Amino acid sequence: MAAAKITSKGQITIPVSVRVALKLKAGDRVEFVERAKGDFSIVAATRSVRELEGLYYDKSRKTVSIEEMNAAIAKAASRSR
């Protein structure tokens, strides 16, 4: 497991093994994506969107239809009035 220490300015150095795995080089940007409360992933912001496929896949989540989405939106909108 790779680890990094935070400086007094809130900066970190990304360990070599992580930079290699993410194919990062000097000047590249990274994003910190919250997957769950207190659980973040580091994502290379220079990657193609296609490479992110499956990042948020969760087998426990139920697929919903457009009708179910519209009903949920209408219900939330009616509560906000």
Q: Where are the domains of the chain?
A: 16-79
Query: What's the rounded Cα separation, in Å, for the pair 55 and 8?
Result: 32
Q: What is the pLDDT of residues 53-75, one digit of tens each?
A: 777 777 787 888 999 999 999 99
- Binned at pLDDT 50, 70 and 90, residue 81 comes out as low
Tokens 């990304």, residue? 14
Q: By percentage, how much of the chain surpasses pLDDT 90?
A: 33
Give the three-state DSSP class for 22: helix
DSSP 51: G
| DSSP H or E run through 72 | helix 66-79
* Average pLDDT for 26-38: 89
45 closest CA partner among 66, 31, 27? 31
